[in-house]
Structure 1
Amino acid sequence: MAFVVYDGVTLLDVTGPLEVLHQANLAHQTQAELYEVVLVGKERGVVRAGSGVELAGVVPAAEVGAVGTVVVPGADHLVGGVPDEVLEVTAALAEAAVRVASVCSGAFVLAQLGMLDGRRAATHWRHAGALARQYPKVRVEPDALHVADGRYVTSAGISAGIDLTLAMVEGDHGSDLARAVARELVVFMQRPGGQSQFSTAMATPPARTDQLRAIAESVVADPAADHSLSTLAAAAAVSTRHLTRLFQSEFSTTPGRWVERVRLDRAQQLLLDGHSITTAARLSGLGSDETLRRAFARQLGTTPTEYRRRFQAAKQ
């Protein structure tokens, strides 16, 4: 497996996936390594990551034979333009590769080479708009953790490279090995690729008022409780009209829509944990199967059954 490295590369985009592969080799417990890794750059020697840490042992692409997988890590400067040397190294390695992957803004490299034309792709949420604007032929999925389309696999930023690599290990050698690696790294096994990069609680800015902050925390802590507008207003000791104004002012939505989104987050996790649609609807506070289906269709454009089917392999 070859990692394309260059000056300014984001260190964790490289070392996160590398550690997953290292742990997979250790967990396999055989003399033959499952993954042989090489760092490939324009020239032999050392590259300096954006954090200042130096990566040694870099070899030029001309000295690397055919590789099964190419991984292109990201860096913020790729958004403003991909250096020719990065394009050349990636193109040389990818020509005969079975799988080509990118982490974070590494997707800009694949897009510049035309590899993602007509394909679905993910990148860091901060760069998704730029990727879509610069490369209109790419079907950018701005909220996905990682996306596979043909031989190309792209992921969101930073820690999502770990999720991406766990998914590759699972695809290569089965869920048992991937689960063992995830346990060793003390990470979730593994966040499904289409899962949002953010939960509603994470995406919502902190409330400026104590009243609204307390309300938001109570909903996230127990989505299935009674969170009707009148109940929330009573808990905050304000009128329903004033509470609605607070939500619009600080969260740019209504109390009802915000509560539904929090409940949908919980329902998604319950489904991924193996619960039935009926149980997920009840425990999340959405209530009925039909209410859950409507929320999935409205917010996610899919059904609970399809959502669970699509990601259940990551939970086995």
Structure 2
Amino acid sequence: MDIPLKIRTIDVLLFDGVNLLDVAGPVQAFEAAHVNGRETYSVRFISTDGAPVRASCGLKLAADGALSAATPSDDLLIPGGTGVDALTEDEATLKAVKAFATQAPKGRLISVCSGALVLAAAGLLDGRPATTHWSRASDARTYKNVLWDLDRISISTGRIYTSAGVTTGIDLALSIIREDCGPATALAVARELVVQLHRTGGQSQFATHLDAQFAVGSTLTRLIEQVVTEPKGNWSLENLANAAGMNPRTLSRHFKRDLQETPAQFVERVRVEHARGLLSEDRPLKQVAIDSGFGDLQRMRRAFQRRFGIHVSDYVSAFG
């Protein structure tokens, strides 16, 4: 890809209680992005008043300047953290964020984790799909005009970008780098950071991995990991039981005890989450149904209807 015509500048908002990984993850990705050996991004750290702040982990962070209604950057990145709650009630901050959206028509507003709540409080997410950290579900629901999908890793609509939280800030940065600089540069950054270039699935998929780690008994743990890793497998109750070395009745009892669902419900949940990740890549619906293990589109449609009460096509229209 050609060298960008100019370095893109990004202001990163710091505040007391900011999550350090929400800042460091995407910033490190942008720092690693070079095209033909040339720097692509320039990052400036700002706070609401230009003063130093203290991250939630206790580390003191210096600011290069203050957030203002006339911030000179191309993009504004708002990380998350416990201090977000104070920002959502700070009229000066919300006014400055809204002013950036108005005065920088080509500028991007990027949020990581609960930073999306600041965009929501500023009214910038109204009528838009957005995501934030799963633990902020109750806070997110107070912004009723936002189309929240808290299972998505990241969502971009126009020039507003939101991500699920913490390490997903790196995923979001990689998608922006790919958009700006091309797949080769994004891949080089992913290799540098030793992360996946694109993660499929959503936040609940990682919760599924946690299910496996905390399930009682190593046999069930291994089985869960097998299903998550290979959702296309022929996971009938009999095949699941054989893989676990149990009879079907015993396996069902273990699933009910440890995961509060049947083996079939678990398999469907894994396949739905895998399908949601594939749908974000704009693949044909029939192919998504095959690749996620449903086999045919009708089965996938029924699963989406059971899980979310909507048709797959409606899901794609809102969140694809």
Q: TM-score, normalised by structure 1?
A: 0.78
Alpha-carbon distance in structure 2 between the residues aligned to 1:44 and 1:72 = 15
SS of the counterpart of 2:178?
Answer: helix
Q: 1:169 to 1:293 in 2, by over 3 A?
A: same
C-alpha deviations, 1:138-174, integer Å up to 9, x for none? 1111101111123221111101111111111222222
Contact preservation (8 Å) 1:125, 1:143: yes
Contact preservation (8 Å) 2:133, 2:165: yes
Q: 1:67 to 1:201 in 2, by over 3 A?
A: same
Q: Which residue of 1 aligns with 2:208?
A: 201
Of 114-123 and 87-96, deviating more is 87-96
Q: Which residue of 2 aligns with 1:105?
A: 114
Contact preservation (8 Å) 2:190, 2:197: yes
Alpha-carbon distance in structure 2 between the residues aligned to 1:82 and 1:101 = 16
Q: 1:282 to 1:18 in 2, by over 3 A?
A: closer
5 Å-filtered alignment, 1:164-183, equals: 164-183=172-191
SS of the counterpart of 1:244?
Answer: helix
Q: Which residue of 2 aligns with 1:154?
A: 162
Q: 1:260 aligns with which of 249, 265, 268?
A: 268
Contact preservation (8 Å) 1:42, 1:89: no
Contact preservation (8 Å) 2:16, 2:56: yes
Contact preservation (8 Å) 2:26, 2:173: yes
Instruction: Give ranges in structure 1 of 5+ residues lacking alignment.
Output: 312-316
Alpha-carbon distance in structure 2 between the residues aligned to 1:278 and 1:119 = 27
Alpha-carbon distance in structure 1 between the residues aligned to 2:236 and 2:45 = 55
5 Å-filtered alignment, 1:97-136, equals: 97=104, 98-132=107-141, 134-136=142-144
Contact preservation (8 Å) 2:119, 2:125: yes
Q: 1:61 aligns with which of 67, 83, 92?
A: 67
Amino acid at match of 1:216: I
Alpha-carbon distance in structure 2 between the residues aligned to 1:63 and 1:264 = 43
Contact preservation (8 Å) 1:182, 1:190: no
1:95 equivalenced with 2:102 (yes/no): yes
Q: Which residue of 1 aligns with 2:49?
A: 43
Alpha-carbon distance in structure 2 between the residues aligned to 1:279 and 1:115 = 34
Amino acid at match of 1:131: A
1:19 equivalenced with 2:25 (yes/no): no
Q: 1:226 to 1:13 in 2, by over 3 A?
A: closer
Q: Which residue of 2 aligns with 1:187?
A: 195
Aligned-residue offset at 1:214? 5.2
Contact preservation (8 Å) 2:255, 2:261: yes
Contact preservation (8 Å) 2:130, 2:148: yes
Amino acid at match of 2:97: T
Amino acid at match of 2:132: T
SS of the counterpart of 2:145?
Answer: coil
Identity rate, percent: 36
Two-structure CA RMSD over aligned residues (Å): 3.6
Of 220-229 and 176-185, deviating more is 220-229
Equivalenced residue count is 302
Amino acid at match of 2:167: S
Q: Which residue of 2 aligns with 1:138?
A: 146
SS of the counterpart of 2:202?
Answer: coil
Alpha-carbon distance in structure 1 between the residues aligned to 2:281 and 2:272 = 14
Alpha-carbon distance in structure 1 between the residues aligned to 2:246 and 2:59 = 53
Amino acid at match of 1:250: D
Alpha-carbon distance in structure 2 between the residues aligned to 1:107 and 1:189 = 23
Amino acid at match of 1:87: L
SS of the counterpart of 2:203?
Answer: coil
Aligned-residue offset at 1:10? 0.9
Aligned-residue offset at 1:127? 0.7
SS of the counterpart of 1:147?
Answer: strand
SS of the counterpart of 2:165?
Answer: coil
